[in-house]
Amino acid sequence: MFGEIAQRIRTNSNNFGAFGITPIGGIVAWAGSFTGVPKLNQEWVQCNGQKITDTASPMFGQTLPNLNSPGSFLYGSSSSGNTGGATSTTISITISTVLGGTSFNYTAGGASTAFNVSSSFNSTATNGVSTLPPYYTVIWIMRIK
């Protein structure tokens, strides 16, 4: 068995799908921008919103999700194909002085919270600050046959 697998690896020019481990429809992160990384073979395509035109694929005629647009990420669920989230949210803070202290109302993404503060505070707002942790970009690809 291992000899057969080793032979399949040696005879497959770029090792994509060499074992058949990734199921059709499987999505994989691919660092295809590195020097020396071979191009995708016919079993794989980028998840860029394209329609599958390969008649040999069981996914022929289906449109892939566009997962390679900036800001997209995969989110686990009990079923696939659902979408959600937003590209931006509005945050508003209302501050007013009341007898005995300061109160303010914080609203983000439709949820609102009111606070009463009896001491002073400083607030600084900076536009354009990313809320993402450090990241590394990849190209999402899908096996189509």
pLDDT tier at 128, thresholds 50, 70, 90: low
Residue of higher predicted confidence among 105 and 3:
105
Per-residue model confidence (pLDDT) at position 100? 60
Which of 18, 6, 31, 13 lies closest to 143 in space, CA to CA?
18
Per-residue model confidence (pLDDT) at position 13? 43
CA atoms of 4 and 11, how far apart (whole Å):
11
Mind listing the pLDDT tens digit for each residue in 23-82?
999 999 999 988 999 999 999 999 999 999 999 999 999 999 999 887 777 888 888 888
Q: What are phi and psi of 38, to 5 degrees?
A: -65, 160
Mind listing the pLDDT tens digit for each residue in 101-124?
656 666 666 666 655 554 444 555
Residue-range domain boundaries for the chain: 1-75+136-145
Distances (CA, A) of 76 to 17, 51, 59, 123: 23, 23, 22, 36
Per-residue model confidence (pLDDT) at position 55? 96
In the block, residue with structure tokens 């900036």: 70
Q: What are phi and psi of 21, to 5 degrees?
A: -70, -40
CA atoms of 53 and 71, how far apart (whole Å):
27
pLDDT tier at 130, thresholds 50, 70, 90: low
DSSP class per residue in 65-133? PB--STT------SSSS-----S---EEEEEEEETTEEEEEEEETTEEEEEEESS-------TT---SP
CA atoms of 91 and 106, how far apart (whole Å):
7
pTM of the model: 0.60
Per-residue model confidence (pLDDT) at position 28? 93
